[in-house]
Amino acid sequence: MQENNFHILSTRPVDPLFVRKAGELGVHIDMLPFIETESLVSETLRRQLGLLADRPMTAVFTSMNAVQALAAFLKPASRNWKVFCLGNTTRKLVAELFGEDSIAGTAASASGLARQMLEAEVREAFFFCGDQRREELPAALRKEGVDLKEIVVYRTVATAHLVEKPYDGISFFSPSAVHSFFSLNQPGPATVLFAIGETTASAIREYSNNELITGLHPDKESLLEEAIAYFCNKTR
């Protein structure tokens, strides 16, 4: 069997233990973030969340960053919220903050989450998001008359870097990171690109015709596991 010796660039930090285990399989992961997120802490936002904290309501999260930003404001977390969120990492953080019983629905994509909310006959919801949120969920809900109130709780900042090392694969976890990466870089034609979801994949297609693999689950480590399996199978 040919020895593995592949190199992947992750555009988001990864658990060092995960990186070490991948290295043992001959797949070496470098980490270089292309975006940073900043929680929008303000007195106005604190007051607004204070009023909402104990109110029975429906909350929506499509980003783990939004949940993390909100955690700084809601201590202890309100148990009166019914929450719809994306799966995996975002779902885990929601369960930690609001409790498992608060989760009313999860989906692998924003459009799928909107469908669940419509099926549940949600008529009013609060969407906690970043300043560069995608349009799929708000557009689908408002089209059906849902009163969706958006509250921006974090800001996304591009941190572009020039990448000179060639990679066999590059993993992307948000459209913002895609735009930041391609503002300075163009991967070689043989580089395989991995996207955490369809919205991220769509952003990649704006810049590249390289082979593109979209993850089966919207989870960082799941995507990297798929990338590792892809390259390990190339040696069989």
Residue 19 maps to a domain: yes
Last residue of a domain, one of 122, 156, 190: 156
Last residue of a domain, one of 156, 171, 191: 156
Do residue 172 and residue 146 come from a single domain?
no
Q: State whether residue 104 is helix, strand or coil.
A: strand
* Those residues with Cβ within 8 angstroms of residue 182's Cβ, 6 or more apart along the chain or in another chain: 207, 208
Cα atoms in the Cβ-side hemisphere of radius 13 Å centred on 172:
27
CB 107 within 8 A of CB 83: no
Do residue 82 and residue 123 come from a single domain?
yes
The domain in which residue 170 lies consists of 6-34+160-233
pLDDT digits 0-9 by tens, 54-97: 789 999 999 889 999 888 777 655 568 999 998 888 899 999 99
Say if pTM beats, i.e. exceeds, 0.95: no
Number of domains within the chain: 2
Do residue 126 and residue 208 come from a single domain?
no
Q: Closest Cα partner for 70 from 138, 127, 108? A: 127
CA dihedral 207, 213, 216, 218 (to 10 degrees): -30
Encoded tokens for 133: 């949120």
Predicted confidence (pLDDT) at residue 130 exceeds the cutoff of 70: yes
Do residue 24 and residue 44 come from a single domain?
no
CATH of the domain at 188: 3.40.50.10090
Do residue 59 and residue 147 come from a single domain?
yes
Do residue 168 and residue 149 come from a single domain?
no
Residue 78 maps to a domain: yes
Do residue 49 and residue 146 come from a single domain?
yes
Do residue 76 and residue 132 come from a single domain?
yes
Predicted local distance difference test score (pLDDT) of residue 87? 81
Phi, psi angles (nearest 5°) of residue 20: -65, -45
